Structure 1
Amino acid sequence: MPVPPPTPPPGAPEDRTDDPRHPALAAPTAASVPDLDGLVADCRACPRLVEWRERVGREGRRAYTGWDYWARPVPGFGPEDAALLLVGLAPAAHGGNRTGRMFTGDRSGDVLFAALHDIGLASQAEAVRPDDGLELYGTRVTAPVHCAPPANKPTPAERDTCRSWLVRELTLLRPTARALVVLGAFGWQAVLPALAEAGWVVPRPRPVFAHGARTVLAAADGGPSLELFGCYHVSQRNTFTGRLTPEMLREVLRTAARAAGLDPVH
Structure 2
Amino acid sequence: MKSLQMDSDARRGLSQISLPFAFSILLLAAPLAILLAMSFWTQDFLTLDRTFTVANFKEAWTNPIYRTLMLRSLKISIIVTMLTVGLAYPAAYYMSFVAPNNRKALLVFLITIPFWTSYLMRIFLWKVILGFNGVVNGSLMGLGIIDTPLDWISYNQFAVTITLSHAWLPFAVLPIFVVMEKVNRSYLEAAQDLGDTPFQRFRRITLPLSMPGVVAATLIVFIPTIGDYVTPKLVGGPGGLMIANMIEVQFKNANNAPLGAALALSALVLVSSVAGIYVWLNRRYLKSEGAA
Asked whether the two chains share a fold, i.e. TM above 0.5, the reply is no
TM-score after normalising by structure 1: 0.24
With a CA cutoff of 8 Å and minimum separation of 6, indicate the structure with the bigger relative contact order.
2
Structure with higher helix content = 2
TM-score after normalising by structure 2: 0.23
- Structure number with larger C-alpha Rg: 2
Structure with higher strand content = 1
